Each structure stands twice: as C-alpha cells, then as structure tokens.
Chains A and B, each alone.
Chain A
Amino acid sequence: MQDPGNKKTGLIFFPAFDWAISPTHPEREERLLYTRDQIFEEGIMDLPEISEYAPVLAKTHDIARTHFCVPRVEDRITEAHLIAAGAAILLAEEIISGRLKNGFALVRPPGHHSMRVVHGNRGFCNINNEAIMVDYLRRHHGIKRIAIVDTDVHHGDGTQDIFWHDPDVLFISFHQDGRTIYPGTGFADELGGPKAFARTINIPLPPGTTDESILYIVDNLILPILEDFKPEFIVNSAGQDNHFTDPLGSMKFTAQGYARLTEKLKPDLAVLEGGYAIETALPYVNMGIILALAGLDYSSVLEPDLQDLRESGEISGYICRIVETHLKNWEKRDEAFAASQTIKGDFFQEKKRIYYDTEGISEYRSEKLRICDDCPGYLTIETSASRHFDSSGTALCISIPFTACSSCSAEAHDLYEKTKKTREYRYMYLQDKPQDIFLSYDFNTGKELRSEG
C-alpha cells in the first residue's frame, strides 16, 4: 500500500523445528525442512531485495484482543503459537511504518481454522495469526479497512468466523469445494453477517482446478472487488495445498501459478497457512512467493515433476458463473440485512455447532448480535464444549467491536456486570476492543482478571 521505492521484502522464516502436533502428523517438525534447504541453497537471504528478521513472541493480551480462549489463553497455546503470531505482527508493523515494502511470515503453526472461541486445536490451528495481527494493526496503527485473501485449499473458516460481522474487514477465500474436503464449509452463499453483507466472499472450486481458472478469478473477481473496497492493508493467508502434488488437496495449482497470483494480488503481508507436500511443493511454492513479493524474476522456479496440467471444460464454465454471481452479490453489498427472518427484536441470533477434528471436541454456540443503527453492534456468544462426554461448562463471551458506538459499549459492560451476579455460567469474558481491555471472570472462584494493551 505504501510507495515501494527501493524498500525490501521482509522475511521471517520460523520453521519451528522442535514443534509438532504428533510425530507422524502432517503438521510436524520436518514440514519446512526442504524449504529451508532450498531457500538457503539459492542464497535468497543474501539478496539485496530481502531482509531477514528474527521473530518475537506475541503477548497473551494480543491473543485475547481477538480470541476467547477457554478457560485462559495460557491453557490453549504453546510458545510456538506466540512466535508465529508475533512474527506476523512484527512484519506488519515494519510494513505499516514504511520500513519494508512487503513481507512473508514463513511460520508454523498455521492459524486460519481458529475461530473467535478457542477450546482447542482444530484443523491444525490453535490461534489465528492473521486475525491477531489485523486486530493489532487496528489497535496500534489506526488502520481501518483491511482485506484478507485466503488462498489455502481449505476454507479459512476461522478467519471467516472472526470477521463475519465486521464491515471493515473483507474476507475472500477460494478453496476446494467443502463437499469434498475439510472443514466442509465455505459455500458461495456464506456472505457475512447482517451488517457486513458480501464482506465475506467464498469461492468453492471443483477438484482439479488449474492455475488458469484461479488466475481468472483473481483478475475478474478478486482484483475488481479490492479496487472498490480500497483496503489500507492486504493480507494473504498463503496456504500452498492447492498444489497438484498436495496429499490432502485435489487441485492442480503450480509454483508458477502461486507466484503469478502473488504478483497480481500484491499483498502487503503473506502469512503461511497449510501445504503438506513438503518435498514436491513447498520448496518451490515458497520460493515463488518470495521472489514475486520481492519483484524478482521467478520464471525458472519449476517443480521437477511438473506436467501439463489441464482442467475440464465444465470447470471453466462453472468458474465464469461463480464470478458473475459474486460480482452481483458485491454490487448489493450495502442493501443490508441478508437474513432478516432471524432477527428477533434488537438482536440477530444464530446457533452453531463446531467440531475440533484434532482433539475430538464438539462446541455448541449460541450467538447474539446487537442490531444498532450507529455501529456494527456488540456480539455475545454462549459457548460450551464437550470432550468425550465431558463438558467444560458454559462460557459467556462478550465482544465490543472497534467501531462500537458508546451506547453499545455501555450496554455490553452492563451485561457483563449484571451477569456477574448470576450463576448461569462457568466463565465470562469481555473483550472491549475500542478501549483495548480484556476481562475474564471465573464464576467458581469469583475472581476477575484484567489485561490492557
């Protein structure tokens, strides 16, 4: 977003060679080993266009500004998570301050399946690195409009959940059709909450989609929408599992395709998400993305087993249609209230059931959004999670958005104070983003913890 001039591309490479979900899990120590070998052997870190940074740890308050970790942040994360989130924050700050042209946080563990409420690990993710970084920028640098483009083969359901009601954060995700892959969501009709219609755009893709179709979507849908939305900062959730060799996905994307995509999208910051073809894809895709961000020629970054990849005519036809549909949705974005039938009085209500695949947790949520004419409204979430028939009790989460009006803020604080006097819940949290305060209350002990940014 800044004038690129001769500024550098910032790189944080944090492979977490001592962290794994389990020894044979795809999200394990070895994942970025061959990427390291390739980057080092190519001398990427010596290039005058690249500047390598050491990561720093995010603070637990930075996590609490975005997530409700039950019971506490410390119970749901490890140091590796703080490092990955800290890396994204550090690069974003350098970019916003004008010291870098753009950046790539080549870090693990990933985060785009982590939702607002965190009971454990789902889809290899505990906390959402991009969302934490975005909220940090809004708090500390007064950034308002942000776009997140998720290019992982899996739907970025965590990021979608966090910004569902937020009209200032545009979330666009293309991914393999949810009927054929985890997490089974991300359909074209998921378009955002009543006050943020079309600020969520999902483009499910049939298995077998190639570079050509993905780049068509970028040119004809994503770039025109970004042009209209005029974000101050663009984030790319750079998953690499659309690659034709990925063991979890079934797409036909190549390293060249990813590099072209990056070149067109011009994200301010790319953050690594998934990608599990650790030998056949990651070394090449990562290198392609780095070179594209740095404005360098990536034309010789070619996978050894590259073949002629084609897709069926049916796919191309479908792609044209979904682009049309979404362009229409985008035009209607300000004609409010998508699902008015669910609004009862002053509140919009939704119930959700969320499954945490890694840990076998089922979460039940009941959400209420305060409908307000002056702001996006505060959100309350009643959440309970059961692990093998063992329920953790119910927690109440209250979130006041950055642009909340004073009466919504006051009402949310009232609710928190009133609820304290009841014994309805096990835990209660209040996330006051405008004041950057986080309160957590334990009903068993009557203890309140407070943190401020």
Chain B
Amino acid sequence: MYVGVDVGGTYTDAVLLRNGAVGATAKIPTRSNLLESVLEALDIVLKDVDTRDIKRIVFSTTMITNLIAGKKYDKVALLLIPGPGMNLKYYDFKTDVIILSGAIDYRGREIVPLNEREIEEALVSLAEKGYRKVGVVGKFSPRNSAHEKRVAEIIKEKYPDWHVELGFQAGPQLNFPRRAVTTFLTCATREPYNAFVNSVKEALAKRNITAEVFILKADAGTLPLENSVEQPVETIFSGPSASTLGVEALTPPDVTEVAVDVGGTTTDIALILDGQPLLSAKGARVDGQLTQVRTLAVKSVPVGGDSVLELAGEEIVFRAERLGPAYCMGGPAPTPTDALRVLGLTSLGDEGKAREAMENLGSPLGMSALETAEKVTDLVVSSITNEIKKMFKEWEQEPAYRIWELLHKKKVKPSIVVGVGGGAEGFIKRIAQELGCKPVTPPYAAVANAIGAAVARPTLQLSLRADTEQGYYIIREDGIQEKISRHSFNEQKALELAKERLLQKAAGYGLKVAPEEIEITYQEVFNMIRGWSTVGRLYDLTVQTPGGIALRVEMGGK
C-alpha cells in the first residue's frame, strides 16, 4: 500500500492506494499547524489499515514555502568570494553581504588566493551584528570548493557553534548569483525544517508506522525524509509536482497533455510531453529571487472558481482575491463558478442564486444572465488558454547550443487537457475545445495531488566533471575531488565512475537501484587543444535514478 499526503495552502489531501486502486481519500482544511494537518489526514485514510502493510508514505508540504514567505527564520549573512567579473551592485541578496578576496576560474584554477586576515575581520563584524548563520559562496566553487571549505574551517575554529552552508553544495550548478540565494535559503531553513522532520518522525513512530517515508520535491522527484534535511529548499513548491504526477498516474502513458489545476483563486498549469513532466530550464523563483532549485515548468494564472468578478468601466474583470465561496453557494460576490452554474457546466450551488449573481453583474452593460455567464466563462478560459499557448511557445524557443538539438526541436501539440482540483470540471471542456484537444476529468480529480504524491518515485542525481589535463575529477554535489590518470581515463571510465558513485549514494539513502536503470541526463566531452595538440579532455556527466511515477492508478479515465 502507498500513501500520499499533500498539504496545500487551503486544503490538505490524502489518499491510500491499495493494489493500484484508490482505497481511501481525505480532504480537510489546512490548519496553521502543518503537522496537525498531516496527521489528521493521515489518520482518516489509515483507519482500518494495518500499518505494517504500508510500503511507502510520501509527503508534499508547504513547510518551506511558509517558512520563507513568513520570514520565520534566523538572520543569515553571506560571505561572497566573487573575484573579477560582474559588478555586485546589480544583485540584491536582501541581507548583509561581505566580499572576500580570492578567485577561482572556470576550470577550477585559483586566480587570486584568500586573505585570511580579511576573513577573520569579516567574522568579527558579523559576530558584532549578532549573526550566527553564514552562507559562504564563491564564484566557480562547483569547479573547485577549496576556498569555500577553507573559510568554513576558519569559522569552525573561531565560532564553533555557528551554522555554515557552502555554495558548492547548496548550489552546484553554474550560476553564482542563484548559488548565493540558494545557499542563503538553505542556511535559513535547515534548522526549522529539521525540527519539522523530527516531529513527523515522532508522530509516525507513535502510530507504529515503519514504512519508508519520502518527501516530494519541486522537480517531481522524492527524497527520503531523513536525507531531505540536506537540501530543504528543494521541497518548496511540491504542490504542483503532486498534481502533475497525479495527472500522469490517472491518464494513459506517453501522451502529451496539459494538466490544469483550477483552485479557488489560482490556476496552475503544467505540461507533460510524451509522458514526461516538463522541467523548467532554469531554477525556481523563490520569494522574488532566482534560485538553483530544479522545478517543473509550472505557470500560475491568477484566476479560479472563487475569484471576485466586477465591472471596470464597460469591461468585466476578475480580481485575484477570494471574498468567500461563490454567490450560488452563499458567498458575497459573483464568481466564475456562478457563471458555470448558469451555463449548466457545474452542479454546484443554487441555480437561482447563480442567475441572480450574473444578472447583477451584467445588467449595467445591458446583458442578460446567460450572456454575462458566457462572457465570464470566455474570459476565464481565454486567460488560461493564452498561458498554455505561451508555455508551449516558450518551450519551443528554449535556447539550444548544438546543431543536433536545434534541428531536432519539433513543434509539439497536446492531445488531451486534464482537469484536476476543485474548480476544474466546468472549465475543462471549453479549454480543451479552444486548444483542439480532448477534455478529461479523471475520477478522483479532486485528490489527484495526493495520488501524485503517493506514486512519486525517489530520485537521486549526481554530476561528475573530469579534467584530464589537470588530472582530477570532482563530484559536484558532494565536493569530492580525486586524482585520475591522464592517459587511461576515458568517457567509458567517466560514466562507470559516475554510475558507481550514484549507486553508492543510493545505497546510503536506503534505495535499491539496478545499474541498468540509471539514466544519463547530460553528457559532454571536449578536447582541450593548446597550440595544435590535444592536452587533455573535459568530461561532464549527470546521471540519475529514474524519476516519474511508480504505478498508474486503475479506473484512471482515458
């Protein structure tokens, strides 16, 4: 049995999957104490279940989102080692920043050494300002983390109780400003996130639950709860991952589809291309700042079933605000749900009240209730379909750096539009019609997110970079650096090494992965030529365990 729990902003949903079918579901309002919400939903679906039969539980929570949005963390300072290049005045890291001397280049060579006295002075000034948490971030540190590590050593010597995060671990991709932000957020959230994880563990133990527990990430992969504390920020925005995976589990395999999750005041859109959820080419934007957190390419449109409708001159417009439920369900203002009710596209609420809401809205424009309802539905549908079209276009126009990639970029067209979430039902037909697709509202659409969490597979990723001229390789995520032989090292060896390291890492996480399951997601080899002869090769590889969904849910619509 698999259990999925998705703690959303408004509702917490849970499902129990038994033999590939939905066994129980729960939907409760999310309370201010997240742990309480998780446990309450869990207890509902686990009623009458022998906890020993549960194989896996996957949580998706707004824990980190709430922490960051509410700034509920201790202050964090940044020690940056940018070296020459971009002027730092263009970045606002929203905290105290001290610039240290030192520089590493794109191949990991030291250009400028650190100045230890300067570091000590920086630490004194941070201590005076009351900082106890510091992110240390160097430009090109994923290519050589020696500077970051040395600064960490000095901090450990002088201030052993400080909490230090290093850039090469928190932000291993090439992008220094995003690395700084990601390191800051990691440093800020790790402690409170740790506390959350511990209380989840305690609560599960109290219920004699011994199943493996995972946490969903923004890229639709999962991490064992234990290990998620290493990269807490990656668990941000897992809600859209949950509903996208849910759509994947509830619809046929290998299709190109659009997942539309219509909520109260926002609609989330995700794309699934040939059965694979589309990842964003760049990291997530968190609290207005760009990070290196891998995320699905999800777009939010500020309109939902409960958005408030009003007149702006001669135009009907919606406000991205909820004053309560729809008018037809006893709410104070006309909403898109009222329009759907008038058009017979939903059976929610009272038809007479819905008609009244539309009449009140449209009469100053001389429109009947029916005309107004049509107009409102068109408005909502077009704002959603415009965004969908834009997403496909953006995907097509994503930069490519190889001739092969550019020539093989093809136009894709979705075949189905899948509606999930409370408000989807009424709109989905019209959205599909507009896009020339088939509309699908699968059974259990309202808890598709929890289903998605339940079926999410654990994923691990590892990047290896080898430079045979300098004679070493590094594992980017772990900062491991070891020597290699300049002459006998080759692409095959690089690949074997990466796979071996990934299997080791998986074993450390308690994951069973077969070597043949490992996917190569990035592979690049360059000859380095100086003068007219080859002096070495650069290998860049990323391998991962297969992601996606563990199973499809029966009765999953078509």
Contacts and interface: CB of A to CB of B under 8 A. Distances in A.
Contact of A24 (B105, B400, B529): B529
Contacts of A55: 400, 406
Given A55-B406, A80-B403, A33 B175 contact: no
B527 A29 contact: yes
Given A42-B176, A46-B290, A17 B524 contact: yes
A38 B401 contact: no
Given A24-B529, A41-B174, A46-B177, A16 B107 contact: no
Given A24-B534, A37-B106, A304-B111, A42 B85 contact: yes
Contacts of B87: 296-300
B524 A38 contact: no
Interface string B80-117: 00001111011100000000000101110001100000
A43 interface: yes
A40 B86 CA distance: 12
A52 B281 CA distance: 13
A38 B177 contact: no
Nearest to B181: A43
B33 interface: no
Contacts of B399: 12-13, 52-54
B277 to A, nearest CB: 22
Contacts of B129: none
B402 A46 contact: no
A34 interface: yes
Interface string B6-29: 000000000000000000000000
A28 interface: yes
Contacts of A300: 84-87
B522 interface: no
Given A24-B529, A29-B527, A301-B85, A47 B90 contact: yes
Contacts of B527: 23-24, 28-30
B140 interface: yes
A30 B529 contact: yes
A36 B401 contact: yes
A12 B398 CA distance: 11
A42 B178 CA distance: 9
Interface in B47-106: 84-87, 89-91, 103, 105-106
Contacts of B528: 30
A38 B534 contact: no
B359 to A, nearest CB: 44
A421 to B, nearest CB: 42
Interface in B516-546: 524, 526-529, 531-534, 538
B205 interface: no
A297 B86 CA distance: 8
A244 interface: no
B401 A14 contact: yes
B533 A24 contact: yes
B401 A46 contact: no
Interface string B107-132: 10001100000000000000000000
A15 B404 CA distance: 12
B42 to A, nearest CB: 40
Contact of A283 (B106, B177, B398, B529): B106
B106 A19 contact: no
Interface string A42-65: 111011000011110100000000
Contacts of B139: 41-42
A290 to B, nearest CB: 10
Nearest to A47: B90
A303 B105 CA distance: 10
B89 A34 contact: no
Interface of A: 12-19, 23-24, 28-30, 33-34, 36-38, 40-44, 46-47, 52-55, 57, 79-80, 83, 247, 279, 283, 287, 291, 296-304
Given A283-B106, A301-B86, A303-B84, 6 more contacts: A16-B402, A30-B529, A46-B175, A55-B406, A304-B84, A304-B111
A297 B85 CA distance: 10
Q: How many residues of B sit at the interface, in one of the four size bands?
A: 35 or more
Given A43-B177, A53-B397, A80-B403, A34 B140 contact: no
Nearest to A86: B406
Nearest to A296: B90
A304 B102 CA distance: 12
Nearest to A23: B527
A152 B524 CA distance: 30
B407 interface: yes
A44 B85 CA distance: 11
Contacts of A287: 85-86
Contacts of A80: 403
Contacts of B404: 18
B319 interface: no
A55 B529 CA distance: 27
Q: Is the contact region of chain A dominated by helix, strand, or loop, or is it mixed?
A: loop
A299 B174 CA distance: 22
Contact of A30 (B397, B398, B406, B526): B526
Contacts of A38: 85, 106
Interface of B: 84-87, 89-91, 103, 105-107, 111-112, 139-140, 174-178, 282, 290, 397-404, 406-407, 409, 524, 526-529, 531-534, 538
Contact of A43 (B176, B397, B402, B533): B176
A54 B86 contact: no
A43 B175 contact: yes
B108 to A, nearest CB: 10
A41 B403 contact: no
A256 to B, nearest CB: 11
Nearest to B139: A41
Contact of A15 (B85, B401, B532): B401
Contacts of A14: 400-401, 406
Contacts of A29: 526-527
A28 B527 CA distance: 9
CB-CB nearest 3 A-B residue pairs: A37-B106, A43-B177, A304-B111
19 contacts: A24-B527, A24-B529, A24-B534, A28-B527, A30-B526, A30-B529, A34-B106, A36-B401, A41-B175, A42-B86, A46-B178, A54-B406, A57-B406, A247-B531, A287-B85, A299-B87, A300-B85, A301-B86, A304-B111
Contacts of B398: 54
B106 A24 contact: no
Given A28-B529, A42-B176, A43-B177, A19 B403 contact: yes
Nearest to B112: A304
Nearest to A303: B84
Contacts of A30: 526-529
B274 to A, nearest CB: 20
A28 B532 CA distance: 12
A11 to B, nearest CB: 9
A144 B190 CA distance: 61
B84 A302 contact: yes
A33 B103 CA distance: 19
B90 A34 contact: no
Contact of B174 (A40, A291, A298): A40
Contact of B106 (A23, A41, A52): A41
Nearest to B398: A54
A348 to B, nearest CB: 42
Nearest to B173: A40
Contacts of A43: 86, 91, 175-178, 290
A129 to B, nearest CB: 15
Contact of A18 (B84, B85, B402): B402
Contacts of A299: 87
A303 B527 CA distance: 23
A54 B400 contact: yes
B86 to A, nearest CB: 5
Nearest to A17: B402
A80 B84 CA distance: 33
A121 B524 CA distance: 27
A30 B407 CA distance: 20
A218 to B, nearest CB: 23
A41 B406 CA distance: 23
